[in-house]
Amino acid sequence: MAALYESYTLCALADTGPEGTRAIEPDRDRDRVVITESGRAVTVYKVSDQKPLGSWTVKQGQCITSPAVYNPPTKEYVVVTDEKVVRVWKDEDISIEKAFKATVSAEVYRLHSVPDREPLVLFRHGAVRFLDSLLAAPQQTIEEVLSEEEVIRWSAAVQMEQQLVLLFSTEQRGQHCLYVQRFSPNALVKHRLETDSTNSTPLSYAATYRDGNIHLLYLFSSGSVYESVLQARPTVPAVSGTVQALPRSLLLKLPVGEGELTAASALPVDESHIAVVGVPHPLAGAGKDYLCLWNTHFQTLQAARELAGKIYGQLWCFSGKLFVPHGKILSVIPFECQKSSLAAAMGKLKQTSGTNESSGPTLVPTWNALLHSNQTQTQENSRGAGTKKSKMSTRNQSSCPTAEQLAEKIKVGSEKEVQKQVEEFLHGSQPEELQLTAGRLASALVMRCQADPTFYPQAAFTQLVQTNYLCHSGCPDLLVLTLEKNDFRLCQLCLQLFQDIPEAVTCCCLKTILSFQDSELEQVDLEDGLLFMKALTQTAEVSDDGDSGQHNGFCPPVLEEEICDAPPDSEAPGTRPAREPLALDMSCPVGLHKGALLNEVLQVPYSDSLLLPHLKDLNVPQVLLFLQYLRFLYLKYSQDAHSRIPALRKPTVTQIMDWVCLLLDAHFTVLALTPEAKSLLTSLHKFVRSQVKLYSELGKIEGSLEALKKSKQSREIGQYSIEVIELF
Amino acid sequence: MGEFNVHRVRFFDYMPSAIRALAFQPQRERIAVARTDGTVEIFNRADCFFQEKVIPGRQQAATEALAWVGDRLFSAGLNGEIIEYDLDNNKTKYTIDAYGGPIWSITSNKQGTHLAVGCEDGTVKLFEVHEDRIQFERNLAKQKGRIISLSWHPSGSKIVAGMMDVIHIFDTETGKLRALAFPSYDLLGTSRSQECVVWSVVYLSDGTIISGDSAGKVKMWDSRTGTLIKSHQVTKWDVLTLSVSQDETSLAVGTSEGHVVQFQFLSMVLGQEDKEWVRTRTFKNHTHDVRAVLEVNTAIVSGGMDTQFVVRPLLDKIDERGQASALRNIQFPHRRLVSCARKAGLLLFQYPGHLELWRLGESEGNGERKRENTTLSIKRKRWIAYSTVASFRLYRLHCENNNVSIIKVSKLPKVLSSANQICFSSDSSHLFVASTCSSVHVAILNQSGCKFVCTLKPKSGSGQAINLLAASEDGKWLASANSDHEVQIYNLNKMKPHCTVPVHSSGVSAMAIHPTTNNLFMVHADQQLTEYSVEKKQYTDWSRQVQRHGLHSLWLERDTPVTNVTFNPKNPAHIVLHDMYMFCIIDQTLPLPDQRSQFYNQLTLRSMPEKERKKHSHAFKMCKIFKELLFVELMEDQSLVVVERPLMDITAQLPAPVRQKKFAT
């Protein structure tokens, strides 16, 4: 996370226009800066004390044309007045006038101070000299590198480990170029800077040296921030005559609001953060008086500060502090950029996303918008230069609708049309695209369905769900819609395929399914789930017919007294002889279809504490029915019926038991007070008790078997024995 | 290969003693281990933690602490004496009394100029380290109560002492308490009634003092202000020992529960400078008190009451899986404690204070007890020789039917005063005694007694003690290996050095000269096998083939060294080796196992029909039926003697641990 701290005013500014040669340069130590302003004055400030240490002005009529710089090797300040006069003075000099001056033969564009080296002098027509060599012979002829119309817009010196590089950009009739001047051996390389759209111009540049490369960052008036990486080592010299365009990458697209940026500046403050001034805050409308810190990795706004007064689009950064002139003051804003983590970035994203939707153009990027813009971008690309034919565009040609078009169509088209279109779309698109668009399409369809009660393209939904790329959070209303439309086939599919159904919705499904009449469900085709239910009930019949459960003379522990005090089960059709206590009521309490659907519900992932409150919504008959069904399943399972049924999806015993527990937890008092529940609960209890008894017996057996196993293993070896071994 | 009668012997009640102190010498990567019986062992970290040296000591010394000063090793104990060890000859160099009562701790400063000892009478005594001695310099301000633990500040100007309830800082220049900056303070945040013992302190270069105390807490203090920075409750019992890594980023804590807890100096926020000591890992490798821990670069070494020497690698500091990344647990010494008369079927067990002689074959054993310790050897049912730190003894053994009697040989040559290793020639005519400076004394044995012949000295002039001797069957050759990894071969006919085996990077853990071919078979601590032809003065073809082919990875992954090599008298191609967990017969006629082939193939071979076995068998016949082996030897009559010492039996003899393991915890 990055943060801007409390700002303070360093000094007041004379109100010159933005064209004034206002500049801030580092001084001898980290806490001092040299400020040149209003064309006449040079002041040295101690930043932490906010006070000036020294100030020098030039005489009336003269004008500083290149900001003063500090020359570390000689501990002198250097300034250029009236474009040709170089003046050098020391800290203790009181007046510039009395200091050393030299008149050079060509117009100086700018001085650049370089740590531990002589300052560089860049002439208006592109020539470069070191200051000491220039002052040795001030009247030496200066060559002209640039043509007459080419104007330098920006320049910077970058000190690398060994090497020094001077970068400057020029403009000539709307064409922008970047020159890279290297020293020893001297080499000048020219690159063309592409503009990003027709009439945007680069507003600010910044060059930093990082990891062996020079990173050039430039901001266009359209709000795009590009980064170009220049190799520190000179690459193969470009073929003369052709000027290569500088390869670049879009780092960030800043929101510009209406119109274009006029005075703005972007400055990298560390690897992943840039400071931007003069660009509107994404949430605060069109006002541009903001200083913002953006994270370029995650494209998130990390911190912002509104600045009072006019913004000049100038920004400097020295030793962890940003220097911004605005209105009539120069503010110093300390900042901090921590290593950004995805979590931090996402956290910030969440805060702003609420208002994001409504504020028109995409400001803070969201997944949706990212995908969207990507798509349009690729389309533009393919339409424009025709360099790359994306898959999207090839599909365009084969008259297959794009997701956009389809979404539009969904809003108006008739059910049949839509169905057809969706089918075509699904058929024609790549899996990656589907992953991104399935949710959008489904949401669009659901919205249409909600708006228009007669519209329900069941087949389209089914196809979408079956792509496996849909999830509940992708289109939250789909499952509810299926319930509204009583489309249980689709509901079953959703329950099977969605992994992220909220507990509330699960409960809602459960409620709807339970309250439905069996007869109404019988028409629904539930495929596999139904087969399982059929098999389950059939095995029940088989085991009811004969006593196949009692091989080997097995006789279950007879719980006579319990049989006696259990009231005769009203639902049990054929009452069995009392000596067969485990053959409890084995008929399925619900229809096969309902059972199959309930099975799906049982297998939906959930967490107990979230499910429990929603379970309370069920009414007593529903609870009883569900509990009966669960008991039925449990009895069946305990007879080992399920393992004999081949089925892809079937609830496990644990799932069943968990649901029983949850249901009892949720409705304990209700069940205790409901007379109808009593018989059900007693029979359940009885069965559970017999099971517990069985398992405790098994535990005992395990203990003795274990002991047997151990006794065999640890053969007692005495102090001395003679054995025979055989080696092979 | 065939069937073997195995004498499975479990009546050697070998009982290792508890580890009391550890000290690490980073330059030469040696770890010194002090045990409660007074012995000091030197392990070589770089050489698979091979136990290079064992320096016997007296139990009365009650060694409490060890300290390295450069290459020199000092110990101090509750008898109030400081001992310097002669690491070349594996003995005590000298002993001086500190005159301060029992000594609880000894540490050297980083500069190697001074030793500080903490005494019972409440003084910290500084000793200046001279080239050959140490000399008392001064007492630091005397305190009430014993000085339990000490630690120098890396600058050497300050020293911190842990006492009962109190930690003091002394200025070593003035000898005074740093009263101004660091008042004595109360350690107890708990009940006043209980005394709190500061078992261990560490003084870091940034001025932090870390203490471990009997209340189970590890506390970080700021030495400038004397304030508590952080307290960690590590255990319900005592924190006994602390050890900080060389770079002061990691701290190992030993507790009396048997746990070793690691703390690391980490920044709480990623990328930020502020660091804190954070409890990171807990290792539970001990059942009893951990009396000593060491942070050794990539591993935590610990030892304690359960006598085990545990090397727990820190996997975050190790890049690849291999020897260094495996947990190592050293329980048995890396040398033989059993000696065997192959024809007579007699076994001699070496205990710290006595010897036991047993005869095989019958169910009854005969015990002979002597109250001394160190090295021994018997041969051919006629002689027993042993040596203690102070003296050398030779006995003649008479063994008729069930009557065993021993007669002491009274007149011995004076030169045989003490020995590192003893060895008889195979016909019992000669006795070889390894003495100081790699020299070997040779004496002739006959009916009348023992006569000194000459002393064999190596050409290299190495000063290291010999740790292995091997004489050839024909009486012509003698091989000696010392702890510099040098193996010297002497010609006994000429009584002169014959040749030197090329030095291998790893020490020799076992060697023997083949009775028929006179090849010297050596096994190194890094599990390499070499065979050197004495007569040709070169490695044998088989040895070269092994080097070329490489040993199977499963062989190299074993973590205990081979401690005995013997040969099959019936089949010269068979070599019997053993380590703690297996014994193995190497058949030199069979092909070496491939890297892909099954190494432990005995069960597979067993299930195969006879004809196919040949096709699948390889040179290494591994047998893992017997575990925790101290000794394996093939007797003259082709029967195997296997001496086992089950670890369960050792554990059973240990005192009860503080923490009894409860059911299902």
Q: What is the 3-state secondary structure (H, E, C) of B209-250?
A: EEEEECCCEEEEEECCCCEEEEEEECCCCCEEEEEECCCCCE
- The answer to whether B194 and B188 are in contact (CB under 8 A) is yes
Q: How confident is the model at residue A551 (pLDDT cuts 50, 70, 90)?
A: very low
Average pLDDT of the segment spanning A554-581: 42
Same domain, A468 and A535: no
Q: How confident is the model at residue A348 (pLDDT cuts 50, 70, 90)?
A: very low
Q: Please give the pLDDT value at position A568.
A: 41
Average pLDDT of the segment spanning A419-436: 80
Judge: A338–B271 Cβ closer than 8 Å, yes or no: yes
Rounded Cα–Cα distance for residues A517 and B561 (Å): 78
Residues of B in contact with A724 (CB under 8 A): 3-6
CA distance A338 to chain B (A): 8
Angle at which helix A503-515 crosses helix A620-638, to 10 degrees, equals 90
**Nearest residue of chain B to residue A340 (CA atoms):** B270
Q: How many residues does chain B have?
A: 665
- A314 pLDDT more than 80: yes
Q: Is residue A347 part of a domain?
A: no
Longest dimension (CA), chain A: 125
Same domain, A423 and A517: no
* Contacts of B485 by beta carbon, 8 Å cutoff, 6+ apart: B503, B504, B505, B506, B507, B508
Q: List pLDDT tens digits, range A97-129.
A: 778 888 888 888 888 888 778 888 888 888 888
Report DSSP state, residue B273: S
Domain termination site, one of A436, A454, A473: A473
Rounded Cα–Cα distance for residues A720 and A716 (Å): 11
For the record, the structure tokens of B107 come out as 């540490």
Q: Please give the pLDDT value at position B260.
A: 92
Q: Is residue A351 part of a domain?
A: no
Looking at mean pLDDT, say which of A14-28, A430-444, B358-372, B469-483 comes out highest: B469-483
Average pLDDT of the segment spanning A625-639: 87
Average pLDDT of the segment spanning B438-442: 87
Judge: B8–A721 Cβ closer than 8 Å, yes or no: yes
Q: Is residue A715 part of a domain?
A: no
* Contacts of A110 by beta carbon, 8 Å cutoff, 6+ apart: A66, A67, A121, A122, A152, A155
Question: Residue A456 sits in which domain range?
Answer: 394-473
Residues A601-631, buried b or exposed e (16+ Cβ, 10 A)?
A: bbbbebeeeebbebbeebeeebbbbbbbbbb
The terminus-to-terminus CA distance of chain A in angstroms comes to 69
Q: Please give the pLDDT value at position A607.
A: 86
Q: List pLDDT tens digits, range A210-247.
A: 877 888 888 888 888 888 888 766 655 545 556 777 78
Same domain, A403 and A530: no
Residues of A in contact with B617 (CB under 8 A): 728
Residues A670-679, buried b or exposed e (16+ Cβ, 10 A)?
A: ebeebeebeb
- B34 pLDDT more than 90: yes
Q: List pLDDT tens digits, range B103-118.
A: 999 999 888 899 999 9
- Can you give the three-state secondary structure of A254-288, one letter per residue? CCCCCCCCCCCEEEEEECCEEEEECCCCCCCCCCC
Q: Please give the pLDDT value at position A277.
A: 86
CA distances, B37 to each of A648, B56, B352, B494 (Å): 68, 9, 8, 42
Q: List pLDDT tens digits, range B361-411.
A: 643 333 333 334 444 554 444 677 777 777 788 888 776 666 677 788 877
Q: Please give the pLDDT value at position B659.
A: 58
- A370 pLDDT more than 50: no
Of the candidates B5, B9, B271, which has its C-beta nearest A724's C-beta?
B5
Q: Please give the pLDDT value at position B103.
A: 92
Judge: B271–A339 Cβ closer than 8 Å, yes or no: yes
Peptide bond into A573 cis (omega under 30): no
With tokens 């996370």, the residue in question is A1
Same domain, A465 and A606: no
Q: List pLDDT tens digits, range A62-82.
A: 888 888 888 888 888 888 888
- Strand order, beta sheet including B124-129: B103-108, B114-119, B124-129, B134-139
Using CB atoms within 10 A of its CB, is residue A391 exposed (0-12), middle (13-18) or buried (19+)? middle
The terminus-to-terminus CA distance of chain B in angstroms comes to 48
- B246 pLDDT more than 70: yes
Rounded Cα–Cα distance for residues A310 and A312 (Å): 6
- A367 interface with B at CB cutoff 8 Å: no
Q: How confident is the model at residue A442 (pLDDT cuts 50, 70, 90)?
A: confident
Q: Please give the pLDDT value at position B665.
A: 39
Q: Is residue A250 part of a domain?
A: no
Lowest mean pLDDT among A369-378, A599-608, B459-468: A369-378
Same domain, A451 and A515: no
- A362 pLDDT more than 50: no
- A398 pLDDT more than 50: no
Q: Please give the pLDDT value at position A64.
A: 84
Judge: B3–A724 Cβ closer than 8 Å, yes or no: yes
Looking at mean pLDDT, say which of A510-524, A707-721, B243-257, B268-282 comes out highest: B243-257
**Average model confidence (pLDDT) across chain A:** 76
Q: Please give the pLDDT value at position A400.
A: 56
Same domain, A588 and A670: yes
Report DSSP state, residue A468: T
For the record, the structure tokens of A214 come out as 């020079």
- A455 pLDDT more than 60: yes
Q: Please give the pLDDT value at position B194.
A: 67
Same domain, A446 and A540: no
Q: How many CB atoms lie within 10 A of CB B615?
A: 7
Q: How many CB atoms lie within 10 A of CB A197?
A: 9
For the record, the structure tokens of A46 come out as 């101690």
Best mutation site among B6, B570, B624 for testing chain A: the one with the most A CBs within 10 Å? B6
- A718 interface with B at CB cutoff 8 Å: yes
Judge: B269–A725 Cβ closer than 8 Å, yes or no: no
- A554 interface with B at CB cutoff 8 Å: no
Rounded Cα–Cα distance for residues A416 and A436 (Å): 24
Same domain, A526 and A638: yes
Number of folded domains that form chain A: 2
**Nearest residue of chain A to residue B359 (CA atoms):** A720
Q: How confident is the model at residue B74 (pLDDT cuts 50, 70, 90)?
A: very high
CA distance A719 to chain B (A): 5
Q: List pLDDT tens digits, range B565-579.
A: 998 888 888 899 999
Taking alpha carbons only, the member of B599, B665, B31 closest to residue B295 is B31
Rounded Cα–Cα distance for residues A310 and A17 (Å): 10
Q: Is residue A699 part of a domain?
A: yes
Of the candidates A341, A723, A728, which has its C-beta nearest B6's C-beta?
A723
Q: Is residue A463 part of a domain?
A: yes
Average pLDDT of the segment spanning B24-51: 89
3-state secondary structure of A105: coil
Same domain, A512 and A626: yes
CA distance B4 to chain A (A): 6
Q: Please give the pLDDT value at position B371.
A: 36
Residues A131-166, buried b or exposed e (16+ Cβ, 10 A)?
A: beebbeeeeeebeebbeeebebbbbbbbeeeeebbb
C-alpha angle B39-B44-B48 in degrees, rounded to nearest 5: 120
- B609 interface with A at CB cutoff 8 Å: no
**Average model confidence (pLDDT) across chain B:** 83
- B453 interface with A at CB cutoff 8 Å: no
Q: Please give the pLDDT value at position B544.
A: 92
C-alpha angle B374-B379-B382 in degrees, rounded to nearest 5: 110
Q: Provide the β-strand partners of residue B243.
A: B252
Q: List pLDDT tens digits, range B618-649.
A: 888 888 888 889 999 888 888 888 998 888 88
Q: Is residue A310 part of a domain?
A: no
Q: Is residue A640 part of a domain?
A: yes
- A479 pLDDT more than 50: yes
In A335-471, which ranges are continuous DSSP H helix?
Answer: 342-356, 367-383, 391-397, 403-412, 415-428, 431-451, 458-466
Q: Please give the pLDDT value at position A388.
A: 39
Rounded Cα–Cα distance for residues B165 and B188 (Å): 7
Taking alpha carbons only, the member of B561, B560, B576, B570 closest to residue B512 is B576
CA dihedral A504, A507, A513, A514 (to 10 degrees): -150
Rounded Cα–Cα distance for residues A12 and A389 (Å): 56
**Nearest residue of chain A to residue B645 (CA atoms):** A719
Q: How confident is the model at residue B170 (pLDDT cuts 50, 70, 90)?
A: confident
Rounded Cα–Cα distance for residues A71 and A422 (Å): 70
Best mutation site among A336, A713, A720, A721 for testing chain B: the one with the most B CBs within 10 Å? A720
**Nearest residue of chain B to residue A721 (CA atoms):** B8
Taking alpha carbons only, the member of A77, A73, A75 closest to residue A35 is A77
For the record, the structure tokens of A245 come out as 């365009």
CA distance A468 to chain B (A): 39
More confident of the two residues A307 and B372:
A307
Same domain, A540 and A405: no
Percent of chain B with pLDDT over 70: 91
Q: How many CB atoms lie within 10 A of CB A191?
A: 22
Helix (H) or strand (E) holding A478, with range, is helix A478-484
ipTM for the predicted complex comes to 0.72
Q: Please give the pLDDT value at position B104.
A: 92
Whole-model pTM?
Answer: 0.53
Q: Please give the pLDDT value at position B262.
A: 92
Q: How many residues does chain A have?
A: 728
Q: List pLDDT tens digits, range B187-230.
A: 444 445 567 888 999 999 988 899 888 888 888 888 887 788 88
Report DSSP state, residue A408: H
HSE (CB half, 13 Å, CA atoms) of B491?
9
A187-193/A244-245 β-pairing: parallel
The dihedrals phi and psi of B543, each to the nearest 5 degrees, come to -60, -45
Same domain, A410 and A457: yes
Same domain, A459 and A540: no
Q: How confident is the model at residue B602 (pLDDT cuts 50, 70, 90)?
A: confident
Residues A563-593, buried b or exposed e (16+ Cβ, 10 A)?
A: beebeeeeeeeeeeeeeebbbbbbebbbbbb
Residues of B in contact with A721 (CB under 8 A): 8
